[in-house]
Amino acid sequence: MTPTSRPLGSKHHAWGALTLAASLTGASAIAHADTLSDLKEQTETLQRKVTELENAQNKRAPNGAVTEGAMPGSFKLPGSTTSIKLGGYVKLDAIYSNITQGVDAVANQQTVDSAIPVGPNGSPSDNKKGQLTFHARQTRLNLATSTPTKYGDMTTFIEGDFFGADGNESVSNSNGLRIRHAYGTLGNFLAGQYWTNLFDENAYAETVDFGGPVGEIFIRQAQVRWTQPSAAGEWSASLENPESLFAISGSSLTAGSATPFRSDRDHYPDIMGRVKWRNELGTFNAAFMARNIRIDSAAAADAKWGQGISLTEVVPLGNDDLRANFNAGNAIGRYQLSGFFPDGYVDATGKIRLAQARSGYAAYRHFWSSTLRSSLILAASSTDTPAGGTFNGFNKSARSAHLNLIFSPVPRVNLGMELIGEKRTVVDGDFGILRRVQFAAQYLF
Protein backbone atom coordinates (compact mmCIF):
# COMPACT_ATOMS: atom_id res chain seq x y z
CA MET A 1 0.00 0.00 0.00
CA THR A 2 1.02 3.32 -0.46
CA PRO A 3 1.89 5.15 2.70
CA THR A 4 -0.76 7.60 4.00
CA SER A 5 -0.14 11.10 2.65
CA ARG A 6 0.26 14.14 5.02
CA PRO A 7 1.05 17.77 4.53
CA LEU A 8 4.59 17.89 3.41
CA GLY A 9 6.66 20.64 5.15
CA SER A 10 4.04 21.97 7.67
CA LYS A 11 6.79 22.31 10.27
CA HIS A 12 8.88 24.33 7.85
CA HIS A 13 5.91 26.63 7.11
CA ALA A 14 5.49 27.53 10.79
CA TRP A 15 9.18 28.29 11.11
CA GLY A 16 9.05 30.44 7.98
CA ALA A 17 6.11 32.41 9.27
CA LEU A 18 7.94 33.09 12.52
CA THR A 19 11.04 34.15 10.66
CA LEU A 20 9.03 36.52 8.44
CA ALA A 21 7.35 38.11 11.44
CA ALA A 22 10.68 38.63 13.11
CA SER A 23 12.09 40.18 9.95
CA LEU A 24 9.20 42.57 9.62
CA THR A 25 9.51 43.60 13.25
CA GLY A 26 13.24 44.28 12.83
CA ALA A 27 12.69 46.26 9.67
CA SER A 28 10.09 48.37 11.43
CA ALA A 29 12.47 49.07 14.28
CA ILE A 30 15.24 50.04 11.87
CA ALA A 31 12.87 52.35 9.93
CA HIS A 32 11.77 53.95 13.20
CA ALA A 33 15.37 54.54 14.17
CA ASP A 34 16.14 56.12 10.79
CA THR A 35 13.13 58.47 11.17
CA LEU A 36 14.32 59.65 14.60
CA SER A 37 17.78 60.24 13.19
CA ASP A 38 16.39 62.29 10.29
CA LEU A 39 14.21 64.34 12.63
CA LYS A 40 17.15 65.04 14.90
CA GLU A 41 19.31 66.13 11.98
CA GLN A 42 16.55 68.38 10.61
CA THR A 43 16.01 69.92 14.05
CA GLU A 44 19.72 70.66 14.42
CA THR A 45 19.83 72.22 10.93
CA LEU A 46 16.81 74.40 11.71
CA GLN A 47 18.39 75.51 14.99
CA ARG A 48 21.56 76.52 13.18
CA LYS A 49 19.53 78.58 10.70
CA VAL A 50 17.67 80.35 13.51
CA THR A 51 20.94 81.16 15.26
CA GLU A 52 22.44 82.53 12.04
CA LEU A 53 19.39 84.75 11.49
CA GLU A 54 19.51 86.06 15.05
CA ASN A 55 23.19 86.85 14.72
CA ALA A 56 22.60 88.66 11.44
CA GLN A 57 19.67 90.62 12.86
CA ASN A 58 21.55 91.70 15.96
CA LYS A 59 24.72 92.44 13.91
CA ARG A 60 26.78 90.64 16.49
CA ALA A 61 30.48 91.16 16.14
CA PRO A 62 33.51 90.07 18.11
CA ASN A 63 34.31 92.16 21.13
CA GLY A 64 36.28 95.27 20.18
CA ALA A 65 35.22 95.24 16.50
CA VAL A 66 34.05 98.32 14.57
CA THR A 67 30.65 97.66 12.92
CA GLU A 68 28.53 99.24 10.20
CA GLY A 69 26.42 102.19 11.34
CA ALA A 70 22.79 103.08 10.65
CA MET A 71 23.65 105.91 8.20
CA PRO A 72 25.12 105.05 4.78
CA GLY A 73 28.90 105.22 5.02
CA SER A 74 28.91 105.39 8.82
CA PHE A 75 30.39 103.13 11.52
CA LYS A 76 29.89 102.29 15.20
CA LEU A 77 32.62 102.07 17.77
CA PRO A 78 32.76 99.02 20.09
CA GLY A 79 30.09 99.13 22.79
CA SER A 80 28.35 102.16 21.24
CA THR A 81 24.92 102.66 19.64
CA THR A 82 26.08 105.90 17.95
CA SER A 83 26.71 105.90 14.20
CA ILE A 84 29.54 108.21 13.09
CA LYS A 85 30.17 109.52 9.58
CA LEU A 86 33.04 111.65 8.26
CA GLY A 87 32.70 113.69 5.08
CA GLY A 88 33.73 116.74 3.11
CA TYR A 89 35.84 117.56 0.11
CA VAL A 90 39.06 119.13 -1.14
CA LYS A 91 38.65 121.96 -3.68
CA LEU A 92 41.13 124.06 -5.61
CA ASP A 93 39.97 127.31 -7.25
CA ALA A 94 41.86 129.26 -9.90
CA ILE A 95 40.29 132.69 -10.55
CA TYR A 96 41.07 135.54 -12.91
CA SER A 97 39.20 138.85 -12.43
CA ASN A 98 39.23 142.04 -14.46
CA ILE A 99 39.72 144.09 -11.26
CA THR A 100 41.78 143.77 -8.09
CA GLN A 101 39.90 143.96 -4.80
CA GLY A 102 42.73 144.40 -2.30
CA VAL A 103 45.73 142.35 -1.21
CA ASP A 104 44.92 138.84 0.08
CA ALA A 105 41.23 139.83 -0.12
CA VAL A 106 38.43 137.29 0.19
CA ALA A 107 36.72 139.18 -2.64
CA ASN A 108 39.46 137.91 -4.97
CA GLN A 109 38.65 134.31 -3.91
CA GLN A 110 34.86 134.40 -4.17
CA THR A 111 32.32 136.95 -5.35
CA VAL A 112 31.64 139.55 -2.62
CA ASP A 113 29.20 141.94 -4.26
CA SER A 114 29.66 144.79 -1.80
CA ALA A 115 33.41 144.78 -2.50
CA ILE A 116 33.15 145.55 -6.23
CA PRO A 117 34.82 148.97 -6.68
CA VAL A 118 32.50 151.64 -8.11
CA GLY A 119 33.02 154.97 -9.82
CA PRO A 120 31.52 157.40 -12.32
CA ASN A 121 30.61 155.61 -15.55
CA GLY A 122 31.72 152.34 -13.99
CA SER A 123 35.39 153.30 -14.08
CA PRO A 124 36.82 153.45 -10.56
CA SER A 125 40.11 155.32 -10.50
CA ASP A 126 41.62 153.63 -7.45
CA ASN A 127 41.80 150.02 -8.60
CA LYS A 128 44.25 148.07 -10.72
CA LYS A 129 43.27 145.91 -13.65
CA GLY A 130 43.59 142.15 -13.56
CA GLN A 131 43.99 139.73 -10.67
CA LEU A 132 44.92 136.01 -10.69
CA THR A 133 44.26 134.01 -7.51
CA PHE A 134 44.72 130.35 -6.57
CA HIS A 135 43.33 129.03 -3.27
CA ALA A 136 41.96 125.95 -1.51
CA ARG A 137 39.94 127.71 1.20
CA GLN A 138 36.62 126.15 0.24
CA THR A 139 37.97 122.73 1.33
CA ARG A 140 35.44 121.36 3.80
CA LEU A 141 35.30 118.88 6.71
CA ASN A 142 32.23 117.56 8.50
CA LEU A 143 31.26 115.06 11.18
CA ALA A 144 27.76 113.60 11.57
CA THR A 145 26.41 111.29 14.29
CA SER A 146 23.11 109.49 14.90
CA THR A 147 21.99 107.78 18.12
CA PRO A 148 18.60 106.02 18.55
CA THR A 149 16.48 107.17 21.54
CA LYS A 150 12.90 106.66 22.70
CA TYR A 151 12.09 110.12 21.27
CA GLY A 152 13.52 109.33 17.85
CA ASP A 153 17.06 109.66 16.53
CA MET A 154 19.39 112.11 18.24
CA THR A 155 21.72 113.55 15.58
CA THR A 156 24.59 116.03 15.53
CA PHE A 157 26.38 117.73 12.65
CA ILE A 158 29.54 119.84 12.69
CA GLU A 159 31.05 121.34 9.55
CA GLY A 160 33.82 123.81 8.84
CA ASP A 161 35.80 125.29 5.96
CA PHE A 162 38.90 127.49 5.77
CA PHE A 163 37.36 130.88 5.11
CA GLY A 164 38.19 131.92 8.68
CA ALA A 165 41.11 134.24 9.46
CA ASP A 166 43.04 135.18 6.32
CA GLY A 167 46.38 133.54 5.70
CA ASN A 168 49.46 135.16 4.23
CA GLU A 169 49.67 134.37 0.52
CA SER A 170 53.37 135.21 0.42
CA VAL A 171 54.36 132.46 2.90
CA SER A 172 52.15 129.60 4.01
CA ASN A 173 48.49 130.41 3.19
CA SER A 174 47.58 129.30 6.72
CA ASN A 175 43.91 130.19 6.53
CA GLY A 176 41.81 129.65 9.64
CA LEU A 177 39.12 127.02 10.13
CA ARG A 178 35.64 128.46 10.73
CA ILE A 179 32.28 127.00 11.75
CA ARG A 180 29.69 126.61 9.02
CA HIS A 181 27.23 124.35 10.82
CA ALA A 182 27.09 123.09 14.41
CA TYR A 183 23.70 121.73 15.48
CA GLY A 184 21.90 118.81 17.05
CA THR A 185 18.42 117.34 16.61
CA LEU A 186 16.18 115.17 18.76
CA GLY A 187 13.15 114.00 16.83
CA ASN A 188 11.62 117.14 15.29
CA PHE A 189 13.59 119.63 17.43
CA LEU A 190 16.79 121.33 16.19
CA ALA A 191 19.15 123.61 18.14
CA GLY A 192 22.45 125.11 16.98
CA GLN A 193 23.85 126.91 13.94
CA TYR A 194 22.28 126.02 10.60
CA TRP A 195 20.85 127.64 7.46
CA THR A 196 18.15 130.18 8.22
CA ASN A 197 14.61 128.84 8.07
CA LEU A 198 13.72 131.74 5.75
CA PHE A 199 15.22 129.82 2.82
CA ASP A 200 15.22 126.25 1.52
CA GLU A 201 18.87 125.30 1.05
CA ASN A 202 17.87 122.62 -1.48
CA ALA A 203 16.93 125.41 -3.92
CA TYR A 204 20.46 126.85 -4.15
CA ALA A 205 21.80 126.91 -7.71
CA GLU A 206 24.94 124.95 -8.59
CA THR A 207 27.86 127.31 -9.18
CA VAL A 208 31.63 126.86 -9.35
CA ASP A 209 31.93 130.20 -7.56
CA PHE A 210 31.61 129.95 -3.78
CA GLY A 211 29.83 133.32 -3.53
CA GLY A 212 26.81 132.55 -5.71
CA PRO A 213 24.25 134.81 -7.41
CA VAL A 214 23.35 138.23 -5.96
CA GLY A 215 19.67 137.44 -5.52
CA GLU A 216 19.88 134.61 -2.99
CA ILE A 217 19.18 134.51 0.74
CA PHE A 218 22.44 133.39 2.34
CA ILE A 219 22.61 133.21 6.14
CA ARG A 220 23.75 130.55 8.62
CA GLN A 221 23.07 131.38 12.27
CA ALA A 222 22.21 130.05 15.73
CA GLN A 223 18.56 129.06 16.17
CA VAL A 224 15.99 126.73 17.67
CA ARG A 225 13.59 125.09 15.22
CA TRP A 226 10.65 122.70 15.19
CA THR A 227 9.93 120.79 11.95
CA GLN A 228 6.67 118.90 11.55
CA PRO A 229 6.23 116.50 8.60
CA SER A 230 2.85 116.48 6.84
CA ALA A 231 1.21 114.43 4.12
CA ALA A 232 2.27 116.85 1.38
CA GLY A 233 5.62 118.00 2.83
CA GLU A 234 6.40 119.75 6.13
CA TRP A 235 6.09 122.98 8.09
CA SER A 236 8.67 124.51 10.41
CA ALA A 237 9.02 127.42 12.83
CA SER A 238 12.18 128.90 14.32
CA LEU A 239 13.59 131.62 16.58
CA GLU A 240 16.93 132.85 15.24
CA ASN A 241 19.81 135.11 16.25
CA PRO A 242 19.01 138.83 15.77
CA GLU A 243 21.48 141.34 14.38
CA SER A 244 20.80 144.77 12.86
CA LEU A 245 22.89 146.64 10.27
CA PHE A 246 22.27 150.34 9.59
CA ALA A 247 23.04 153.03 7.07
CA ILE A 248 23.49 156.32 8.92
CA SER A 249 22.49 159.49 7.07
CA GLY A 250 25.53 161.52 6.07
CA SER A 251 28.04 158.73 6.73
CA SER A 252 28.60 157.71 3.13
CA LEU A 253 30.79 154.69 2.49
CA THR A 254 33.99 154.66 0.53
CA ALA A 255 33.23 152.08 -2.13
CA GLY A 256 34.24 148.61 -1.01
CA SER A 257 36.07 149.85 2.12
CA ALA A 258 33.43 150.01 4.86
CA THR A 259 30.34 148.27 6.19
CA PRO A 260 27.05 149.54 7.64
CA PHE A 261 26.90 150.39 11.34
CA ARG A 262 26.23 147.32 13.49
CA SER A 263 23.95 147.40 16.56
CA ASP A 264 24.49 144.83 19.34
CA ARG A 265 21.47 145.77 21.46
CA ASP A 266 18.85 143.52 19.89
CA HIS A 267 15.96 142.56 22.20
CA TYR A 268 13.91 139.98 20.26
CA PRO A 269 14.81 136.94 18.14
CA ASP A 270 14.12 136.89 14.43
CA ILE A 271 10.92 134.88 13.95
CA MET A 272 10.61 132.49 10.98
CA GLY A 273 7.91 130.21 9.62
CA ARG A 274 8.08 128.03 6.52
CA VAL A 275 5.78 125.65 4.63
CA LYS A 276 7.17 123.11 2.18
CA TRP A 277 5.05 121.02 -0.15
CA ARG A 278 5.61 118.61 -3.02
CA ASN A 279 3.44 117.65 -5.96
CA GLU A 280 3.81 116.27 -9.48
CA LEU A 281 5.36 119.56 -10.64
CA GLY A 282 8.16 119.77 -8.05
CA THR A 283 9.02 121.09 -4.59
CA PHE A 284 7.86 124.51 -3.37
CA ASN A 285 8.53 126.63 -0.27
CA ALA A 286 6.90 129.73 1.19
CA ALA A 287 8.59 131.37 4.19
CA PHE A 288 7.78 134.42 6.32
CA MET A 289 10.01 136.46 8.64
CA ALA A 290 9.30 139.07 11.34
CA ARG A 291 12.20 141.09 12.84
CA ASN A 292 12.69 143.87 15.34
CA ILE A 293 15.20 146.33 13.82
CA ARG A 294 16.78 148.23 16.72
CA ILE A 295 19.52 150.79 17.17
CA ASP A 296 20.72 152.13 20.52
CA SER A 297 23.81 154.29 20.18
CA ALA A 298 25.07 157.84 20.43
CA ALA A 299 23.77 158.41 16.90
CA ALA A 300 20.19 157.24 17.51
CA ALA A 301 17.87 155.17 19.69
CA ASP A 302 14.87 153.69 17.88
CA ALA A 303 13.25 150.38 16.91
CA LYS A 304 10.78 149.15 14.30
CA TRP A 305 9.27 145.79 13.36
CA GLY A 306 9.80 144.67 9.79
CA GLN A 307 9.02 141.61 7.71
CA GLY A 308 10.01 139.64 4.65
CA ILE A 309 8.93 136.70 2.51
CA SER A 310 10.85 134.14 0.47
CA LEU A 311 9.46 131.84 -2.22
CA THR A 312 11.49 129.01 -3.77
CA GLU A 313 10.86 126.18 -6.17
CA VAL A 314 12.72 123.22 -7.66
CA VAL A 315 11.04 121.80 -10.78
CA PRO A 316 12.44 118.64 -12.45
CA LEU A 317 12.47 118.77 -16.25
CA GLY A 318 13.41 115.23 -17.20
CA ASN A 319 17.09 114.92 -16.29
CA ASP A 320 17.34 118.73 -16.03
CA ASP A 321 15.88 121.05 -13.40
CA LEU A 322 14.75 124.64 -12.89
CA ARG A 323 15.41 126.43 -9.58
CA ALA A 324 13.97 129.83 -8.72
CA ASN A 325 13.79 132.17 -5.74
CA PHE A 326 12.00 135.46 -5.05
CA ASN A 327 12.41 137.55 -1.88
CA ALA A 328 10.73 140.78 -0.79
CA GLY A 329 10.19 142.85 2.32
CA ASN A 330 11.39 145.83 4.35
CA ALA A 331 13.66 143.79 6.65
CA ILE A 332 15.53 141.32 4.42
CA GLY A 333 18.71 143.45 4.47
CA ARG A 334 21.42 141.27 5.98
CA TYR A 335 19.65 138.10 4.83
CA GLN A 336 20.19 139.11 1.20
CA LEU A 337 23.59 137.62 0.40
CA SER A 338 25.27 138.41 3.73
CA GLY A 339 24.10 141.99 4.18
CA PHE A 340 24.17 143.50 0.71
CA PHE A 341 21.50 145.94 1.90
CA PRO A 342 21.23 147.56 5.36
CA ASP A 343 18.41 146.38 7.62
CA GLY A 344 17.42 149.96 8.36
CA TYR A 345 18.28 153.55 7.47
CA VAL A 346 18.75 156.17 10.21
CA ASP A 347 17.69 159.60 8.94
CA ALA A 348 18.93 163.04 10.02
CA THR A 349 16.49 163.07 12.99
CA GLY A 350 17.80 159.76 14.40
CA LYS A 351 14.73 157.74 13.41
CA ILE A 352 14.82 154.33 11.69
CA ARG A 353 13.34 154.09 8.22
CA LEU A 354 12.71 150.70 6.66
CA ALA A 355 12.96 150.31 2.90
CA GLN A 356 11.37 147.77 0.59
CA ALA A 357 13.87 145.45 -1.09
CA ARG A 358 13.50 142.72 -3.70
CA SER A 359 15.83 139.99 -4.89
CA GLY A 360 15.74 136.71 -6.73
CA TYR A 361 17.26 134.39 -9.29
CA ALA A 362 16.38 131.76 -11.87
CA ALA A 363 18.71 128.83 -12.57
CA TYR A 364 18.43 126.21 -15.30
CA ARG A 365 20.66 123.13 -15.06
CA HIS A 366 21.12 120.92 -18.13
CA PHE A 367 22.78 117.50 -18.26
CA TRP A 368 24.57 117.07 -21.57
CA SER A 369 25.43 113.49 -20.55
CA SER A 370 25.79 111.44 -17.39
CA THR A 371 29.20 113.07 -16.77
CA LEU A 372 28.74 116.60 -18.17
CA ARG A 373 26.36 119.33 -16.99
CA SER A 374 25.87 123.12 -17.18
CA SER A 375 23.96 125.77 -15.24
CA LEU A 376 22.85 129.25 -16.28
CA ILE A 377 21.93 131.52 -13.35
CA LEU A 378 20.51 135.04 -13.75
CA ALA A 379 19.99 137.14 -10.60
CA ALA A 380 18.99 140.64 -9.51
CA SER A 381 18.41 142.69 -6.37
CA SER A 382 17.32 146.25 -5.60
CA THR A 383 16.07 148.45 -2.79
CA ASP A 384 14.08 151.68 -2.40
CA THR A 385 16.38 153.99 -0.45
CA PRO A 386 14.22 156.22 1.78
CA ALA A 387 14.09 159.99 1.44
CA GLY A 388 15.14 162.23 4.28
CA GLY A 389 18.84 161.42 4.39
CA THR A 390 22.06 161.12 2.47
CA PHE A 391 23.16 157.50 1.97
CA ASN A 392 25.78 157.81 -0.76
CA GLY A 393 28.01 154.76 -1.05
CA PHE A 394 25.39 152.30 0.18
CA ASN A 395 24.15 149.62 -2.22
CA LYS A 396 21.20 150.41 -4.45
CA SER A 397 21.05 147.40 -6.81
CA ALA A 398 23.01 144.51 -8.28
CA ARG A 399 22.84 142.14 -11.25
CA SER A 400 24.75 138.91 -11.86
CA ALA A 401 25.05 136.08 -14.37
CA HIS A 402 26.83 132.72 -14.00
CA LEU A 403 27.40 130.19 -16.79
CA ASN A 404 29.34 127.01 -16.07
CA LEU A 405 30.39 123.64 -17.42
CA ILE A 406 31.11 120.83 -14.92
CA PHE A 407 32.71 117.50 -15.86
CA SER A 408 32.58 114.47 -13.53
CA PRO A 409 34.90 111.82 -15.03
CA VAL A 410 34.22 109.53 -12.05
CA PRO A 411 31.71 109.79 -9.19
CA ARG A 412 32.62 112.34 -6.49
CA VAL A 413 35.03 114.28 -8.71
CA ASN A 414 34.00 117.60 -10.30
CA LEU A 415 36.12 119.61 -12.73
CA GLY A 416 34.48 122.94 -13.52
CA MET A 417 34.80 126.20 -15.42
CA GLU A 418 32.55 129.23 -14.93
CA LEU A 419 32.09 132.67 -16.47
CA ILE A 420 30.81 135.33 -14.06
CA GLY A 421 29.58 138.86 -14.63
CA GLU A 422 28.28 141.20 -11.88
CA LYS A 423 27.30 144.85 -11.69
CA ARG A 424 26.99 146.79 -8.44
CA THR A 425 25.29 150.21 -8.26
CA VAL A 426 25.27 152.51 -5.20
CA VAL A 427 22.80 155.18 -4.14
CA ASP A 428 24.58 158.12 -5.80
CA GLY A 429 24.63 156.34 -9.16
CA ASP A 430 28.24 155.17 -9.27
CA PHE A 431 28.69 151.56 -10.37
CA GLY A 432 31.29 148.88 -10.94
CA ILE A 433 31.45 145.78 -13.09
CA LEU A 434 33.19 142.50 -12.22
CA ARG A 435 34.11 140.03 -14.96
CA ARG A 436 35.60 136.75 -13.87
CA VAL A 437 36.58 133.32 -15.16
CA GLN A 438 37.02 130.53 -12.65
CA PHE A 439 38.36 126.98 -12.82
CA ALA A 440 37.96 124.42 -10.03
CA ALA A 441 38.81 120.82 -9.12
CA GLN A 442 36.74 119.21 -6.36
CA TYR A 443 37.29 115.79 -4.73
CA LEU A 444 34.57 114.60 -2.35
CA PHE A 445 34.96 111.97 0.35
Structural domain includes residue 183: yes
Give a yes or no: residue 33 inside a domain: no
Q: Specify the pTM.
A: 0.82
Cα angle 200, 206, 210 (rounded to 5 degrees) comes to 95
C-alpha dihedral sign at 112, 375, 364, 122: positive
Low-confidence stretches of the chain (pLDDT beneath 50):
1-33, 254-258
The verdict on residue 73 lying in a domain is: yes
**Would residue 357 count as lying in a domain?**
yes
Query: How far, in Å, are 202, 331, 396, 440 from residue 207 at the CA level?
Result: 13, 27, 24, 11
Residue 337 backbone zone (phi > 0: left; psi -120 to 50: alpha; other: beta):
left
What is the residue range of 264's domain? Answer: 68-444
**Residue 89 CB-density burial (10 A; 0-12 exposed, 13-18 middle, 19+ buried):** middle
Q: What pLDDT is attached to residue 20?
A: 42
Domain containing residue 362: CATH number: 2.40.160.10
The span from the CA of 376 to the CA of 73, in Å, is: 33
Query: What is residue 368's predicted lDDT score, i.e. its pLDDT?
Result: 98
Domain assignment present for residue 34? The answer is no
Provide the pLDDT for residue 44.
72
What's the confidence (pLDDT) of residue 167? 85
Query: Is residue 14 domain-resident?
Result: no
Instruction: Note the pLDDT of residue 55.
Output: 58
- Residue 17 resides in a domain: no
**Would you state the pLDDT for residue 27?**
45
Question: Looking at the domain assignment, is residue 61 inside a domain?
Answer: no
pLDDT value of position 133: 95
| Number of domains, the chain | 1
Q: What pLDDT is attached to residue 60? A: 54
